[in-house]
Copies of this chain bind each other. A is one copy, B any other.
Amino acid sequence: MTNASHFKRLALIGFGLIGGSIARAARAQGLVSEIVTTARSEKTRARVAELGIVDRVVETNVEAVADADLVILCIPVGACGPVAQDIAGHLKPGAIISDVGSVKGAVVKDMAPHLPKTVHFVPAHPVAGTEHSGPDSGFPELFIDRWCILTPPEGTDADAVERLRGFWAAMGAKVEVMTPEHHDLVLAITSHLPHLIAYTIVGTADELAQVTSSEVIKFSAGGFRDFTRIAASDPIMWRDVFLANKDAVLEMLGTFNEDLSKLTRAIRRGDGEALFDHFTRTRAIRRGIVSIGQDSAAPDFGRPHPQLKKPD
What mask results when residues 285 to 309 of chain A are scored 1 for a CB within 8 Å of chain B, else 0?
Answer: 1111100101110011111111111
Interface membership of A202, Cβ < 8 A: yes
* Nearest-CB residue, chain B, relative to A228: B286
Complex interface: stretch among A63-71, A104-112, A269-277: A269-277
Q: Are A25 and B211 in contact (CB under 8 A)?
A: no
Contact A127 B190 (CB under 8 A): no
Interface residues of A in 1-40 (CB under 8 A from B): 1, 25, 28-31
Q: Is the CB of A217 within 8 A of B282?
A: no
CA distance A145 to B295 in the complex (A): 25
Q: Would A305 and B139 be within 8 Å (CB), given that A131-B300, A190-B205, A289-B225 are in contact? A: yes
Chain B CB within 8 A of A87 CB = no
Q: Knowing A200-B260, A221-B128, A270-B243 touch, does A279 contact B230 (C-beta < 8 A)?
A: no
Q: Is A311 an interface residue (CB 8 A)?
A: yes
- For residue A83, CB closer than 8 A to chain B, the reply is no
Cα distance A247–B226 in the bound complex, in angstroms: 24
Residue of B with least CB distance to A131: B299
Bound complex: CA of A129 vs CA of B78, how far in Å?
Answer: 40
The size class of the interface chain A forms with chain B is 35 or more
CA distance A283 to B236 in the complex (A): 12
A189 within 8 A of partner (CB): yes
* Residues of chain B within 8 A of A239, CB atoms compared: 272, 275-276, 279
A267 touches B294 (CB 8 A): no
If the complex has contacts A205-B190, A283-B235, are A263 and B196 also in contact, measured as CB distance less than 8 A?
A: yes
Contacts of A270 in B (CB 8 A): 243, 246
Q: A191 at interface (Cβ–Cβ under 8 A)?
A: yes
Bound CA–CA A191/B30 (angstroms):
46
Q: How far is the CA of A291 from the CA of B223 in the complex (A)?
A: 17
Q: Which A residues, 168 to 218, have Cβ-Cβ distances below 8 Å to chain B?
A: 170-172, 176, 185-187, 189-208, 210-211, 213-218
Task: Give the dominant DSSP class at A's interface.
Answer: helix
B264 touches A250 (CB 8 A): yes
Copies of this chain: 2
CB-based contact A197/B189 at 8 Å: no
* Interface-located stretch among A44-52, A53-61, A251-259: A251-259
Indicate if A43 sits at the interface (CB-CB under 8 A).
Answer: no
A226 and B191 alpha carbons, distance in the complex (Å): 10
- Contact check, A264 vs B275: say whether CB atoms are below 8 A apart: no
Beyond known contacts A141-B306, A191-B222: 8 more, CB 8 A cutoff: A30-B310, A141-B305, A145-B306, A190-B216, A191-B224, A194-B201, A206-B281, A206-B282
| 18 residue pairs A–B, Cβ–Cβ below 8 Å | A141-B305, A144-B306, A146-B221, A186-B215, A189-B224, A190-B211, A194-B227, A197-B201, A198-B223, A199-B279, A200-B259, A202-B286, A226-B230, A235-B276, A246-B268, A250-B267, A257-B260, A301-B303
